[in-house]
Amino acid sequence: MANKKILVVDDEKKIVDIVKGYLTKDGYRVIAAYDGQEALNAARSQSPDLIILDLMLPEVSGWDVCRILRAETRVPIIMLTARDEDTDKIVGLELGADDYVVKPFNPKELMARMRAVLRRAEVAGEKKGRIEVGELAIDLERREVRRSGRSVELTPTEFELLAALVESPGRVYSRLQLLERVQGSAYEGYERTIDSHIKNLRKKVEVAPEQPVYIVTVWGIGYKLAGDINA
């Protein structure tokens, strides 16, 4: 994955320099931005492969940067949040971020999570075949999803999550199993992030997200894909 282009966004130069040092050492190309508007400009002009995004930014907040970019691109986004609060994590994930790391963070953990996000984005693009379930058509090779013929835009994490479910229809996955599948590793305490990704996914693929017919909750265990599959 070396030579990938990473946009690092934080208003604290010290943090940007630390992250940049680790990334450069591993062969990544780094773009730095120190406020939200600069981040938007860099993302649009430089087309990074991944964005590490602080939420507390001047000019334009990290929340708004995430929301705006998610409407424009599928680029993977890892949030940096200064508070270890579930509401921060859930809101960020619902805006379309792929993962989050809480400050103060271990740079090695950030690197590991970044590699996992990049890896699952690549894997999502490598899957082959076309699968249909009800009104959904999932093209694993082209990484395209359609509902009733209309294109559905998914983040890399959402697509990988859907791909995991459609590969084994009817199988019940625990949150930890899904986390391991889409992320490549399961960090204790992070399994509830799956709920936010499932919520986002349902908004995009279900006709009535509050009454899902495809991605069904199995209470006390996790989730499964329901419906007849045509491959």
- Quick: pLDDT tens for 195-224: 888 999 999 999 999 999 999 998 877 888
Q: End of a domain among 123, 145, 176?
A: 123
Tens digits of per-residue pLDDT, 98-141? 888 888 889 998 998 888 888 766 755 555 577 888 888 888 77
Residue 76 tokens, joined: 């993977």
- 35 neighbors 57 (Cβ within 8 angstroms): yes
> 142 with 94, same domain?
no
Same domain, 177 and 201: yes
d(CA 175, CA 172): 10
Residues 115 and 81 in one domain: yes
Range of the domain at 217: 127-230
pLDDT in tens, 53-109: 998 899 999 989 998 998 788 788 998 887 666 666 677 777 778 888 888 889 998
210 and 114 part of one domain: no
Number of domains in the chain: 2
pLDDT (0 to 100) of residue 221: 79
Do 10 and 115 fall into the same domain? yes
The region that residue 170 occupies, defined by phi over 0 for left and psi between -120 and 50 for alpha, beta otherwise, is left
Secondary structure of residue 35 in the 3-state scheme: coil
- Using CA atoms, how far apart are residues 77 and 136, in angstroms rounded to an integer? 26
End residue of a domain, out of 72, 93, 123: 123
Single-letter code of the amino acid located at 33 = A
Angle at 208 between CA 205 and CA 73, to 5 degrees: 35
Q: Which of 88, 123, 158 is the last residue of a domain?
A: 123
